[in-house]
Structure 1
Amino acid sequence: MKKTFFNIIVVSYNAGDKLIDTIESIRRQTFTEYRILVKDGMSTDGSIEKLKSKYEVGKDLILVESCDSGIYHAMNIAASYLEEKIISMRAIDQDAENIDEVKLLRAGEEPAYIFFLNCGDTFRDENVLRDVHDAIIERNSKEGTTLPAIYYGDIFDCSTGNRIHSNPKIDDHACYRNLPSHQACFYDERLVYKNPFELRYKVRADYEQFLRCYYRDKASTFYIPRIVADYEGGGFSDQNKKLSEEERKEIIKLYLTGAQIRKYDLIRVLTLSKLRTALAENKITAGIYNKIKSAIYRLKEK
């Protein structure tokens, strides 16, 4: 299996035409050094048969069909599949006797970047991968960093019709509550392979994974000011907001001190968090709210 710059993982289960819509948005990309891995949970709606009839499976589009216990488990299976295939390929190339000694990256080699694109979500336009690739290469050439990194941008929320600007600076306060959506994040492959999703979290496993990469693996973060994906909305986390908040509170205790949490809890109350959330989710007020939020982020970045 050849090495590519991007590995795009799409998890599906009875997704219908949404699977094809998502794949098409990837296929339209002007930057073509990518691989698509579709992890399907044994769909019964004919979507996988349609996929097989429309695309050549096995080259730049890999299909893994197996049962799983949910979206995060499926993502872990997909990532493990990629890692095993890459290591096996390297072992053959190096004629290695012990596969455990085979390194994921050769000296001086650029890592690949993993992106999770949910069924129903699509890339914003045909130049997303080109722009992200160029931003990564430019930053690496300027800073010469070898530390694993997370690159992220913004998303477009189709349910409200508004751009959701990500926090341009990741710090303790951002980690408390304002992390970018995972539909906007490109992870260095080393971070994903080392940090699988923690399956005890049903809604917020991606949040915990980001914090683990940031705090424990010291991953650097870099904001790219462009919309990465159109987010369909109405997913599992949106439908389970109470559980989402319960998991967030549990997770943040693993990475921030009690004093920090109390401080940010107070700030949240004083800045009318519940009102801001209502404004952000209302189709009428979301546009104005996000413009104000974006202006604040621009000031913060300066």
Structure 2
Amino acid sequence: MAHLFFSIVVVSLNPGEKLVPTLKSVLDQDYGNFEIIIKDGGSTDGSVEKLEELPADSRIRFFREPDKGIYDGMNQALAHARGRFLLFLNCGDRLYSRSVLSETAEFIEKTEKESLCRTRPYIFYGDQYNELQDCPVHSAPRMNDFACYRNVPCHQVCFYDAGLFAERGYDTDFRVRADYEHFLYCIYDRKAEAVYMPVTVAFYEGGGFSETRENRKRSALEHRVITRFYQGFWKRSFYSFLMLATLAPLRTKIAESPSLSKGYNAVKSAVYRRKKG
């Protein structure tokens, strides 16, 4: 295709039965202007062989190369991506509906048409459905400083202008929060505009690499380092105090509770809808 619109990047290493459903959710889209980059780190569990279950499709491009972790694998995949916008899906995640890519392409094209003179790159982001908690999770309607400190959208719902990875990819010194760091790099260094779109992009599997007890501790440490670098000591300290004052640790426990998360996210969604209005 002359102008490839989307590159969907899937990084895998021994994902078991999870790889094929992720790919099928992309191949089943009612919009066809995309490629799938599968970057495998050397799986030995038979998952790669299961790709034979899929129909032959020239839009699937498979590469196998050892890597030093998920973010290193994503960086390797970037070297092969040709689309204007990039979406990163983990094995086990799936696009929410058959119309995700068509709705996103329509939204992007409308936004670009209304902003013909702009030169800043975009990040378009939507909502997710958390399968572990069995409820929708709505992203913040605006990415201001506090939203960037508190919680940026997960990479499974973000469509990045490919140019935002031209100068550098993910910083692999951050083992858990390299995607968060890169999001803030895009906002603060590259002056990207993050635009919310009313599209539920992906089923997010949850319970993965970043959510183990050990990695949660490292995640908190990396968050402090990243926010202090991009937002400065005093702004980061103020937002940290604000989170404590508004009972953020308690709200996090409620949001992660199987019995309470649906109600919590329903309230949060109502607040976000009012802000959008």
Mapping 1:138-287, distance limit 5 Å = 138-144=110-116, 145-239=118-212, 240-287=215-262
Choose 285-294 or 32-41, whichever is displaced more. 285-294
Mapping 1:1-302, distance limit 5 Å = 3-52=3-52, 54-56=54-56, 59-82=58-81, 112-144=84-116, 145-239=118-212, 240-302=215-277
What code does the residue aligned with 2:20 have?
Answer: I
Query: What is the rounded CA distance, in whole Å, between the counterparts of 1:204 and 1:69 in structure 2?
Result: 15
Choose 202-211 or 3-12, whichever is displaced more. 3-12
Query: What is the rounded CA distance, in whole Å, between the counterparts of 2:236 and 2:174 in structure 1?
Result: 20
Q: Is 2:96–2:201's contact at 8 Å kept on the other side of the alignment?
A: yes
What code does the residue aligned with 2:44 have?
Answer: T
Query: What is the rounded CA distance, in whole Å, between the counterparts of 1:49 and 1:288 in structure 2?
Result: 42
In the TM superposition, what is the alpha-carbon distance from 1:52 to its structure 2 partner? 3.8
In the TM superposition, what is the alpha-carbon distance from 1:42 to its structure 2 partner? 1.0
SS across alignment from 1:17: coil
The aligned length equals 274
In the TM superposition, what is the alpha-carbon distance from 1:2 to its structure 2 partner? 5.2
SS across alignment from 2:225: helix
Choose 127-136 or 47-56, whichever is displaced more. 47-56
Q: Is 1:114–1:192's contact at 8 Å kept on the other side of the alignment?
A: no
What code does the residue aligned with 2:142 have?
Answer: K
Q: Is 1:147–1:220's contact at 8 Å kept on the other side of the alignment?
A: yes
Choose 234-243 or 68-77, whichever is displaced more. 234-243
In the TM superposition, what is the alpha-carbon distance from 1:53 to its structure 2 partner? 5.2
In the TM superposition, what is the alpha-carbon distance from 1:124 to its structure 2 partner? 0.4
Q: Structure 1 residues 157, 53: CA separation in 2 closer, same or farther (over 3 Å shift)? A: closer
Q: Is 2:37–2:80's contact at 8 Å kept on the other side of the alignment?
A: no
Q: Is 2:104–2:199's contact at 8 Å kept on the other side of the alignment?
A: no
In the TM superposition, what is the alpha-carbon distance from 1:242 to its structure 2 partner? 1.0
SS across alignment from 1:81: coil
SS across alignment from 1:10: strand
Q: Structure 1 residues 2, 44: CA separation in 2 closer, same or farther (over 3 Å shift)? A: farther
In the TM superposition, what is the alpha-carbon distance from 1:257 to its structure 2 partner? 2.0
Q: Is 1:10–1:39's contact at 8 Å kept on the other side of the alignment?
A: yes
Query: What is the rounded CA distance, in whole Å, between the counterparts of 1:152 and 1:234 in structure 2?
Result: 21
SS across alignment from 1:198: coil
Let me know the Cα RMSD of the aligned residues. 1.4
TM-score normalised by the chain length of structure 2: 0.95
Q: Structure 1 residues 54, 294: CA separation in 2 closer, same or farther (over 3 Å shift)? A: closer
Query: What is the rounded CA distance, in whole Å, between the counterparts of 1:263 and 1:53 in structure 2?
Result: 53
Query: What is the rounded CA distance, in whole Å, between the counterparts of 1:195 and 1:289 in structure 2?
Result: 37
The one-character-per-residue Cα deviations of 1:198-235 (angstroms, maximum 9, x if unpaired) are 00101000000000011000001110112100011111
What code does the residue aligned with 2:61 have?
Answer: I
Structure 1 stretches of 4+ moved >6 Å = none
Q: Structure 1 residues 219, 276: CA separation in 2 closer, same or farther (over 3 Å shift)? A: same
The structure whose Rg is larger is 1
Query: What is the rounded CA distance, in whole Å, between the counterparts of 2:54 and 2:260 in structure 1?
Result: 41
Choose 260-269 or 206-215, whichever is displaced more. 260-269
SS across alignment from 1:215: helix
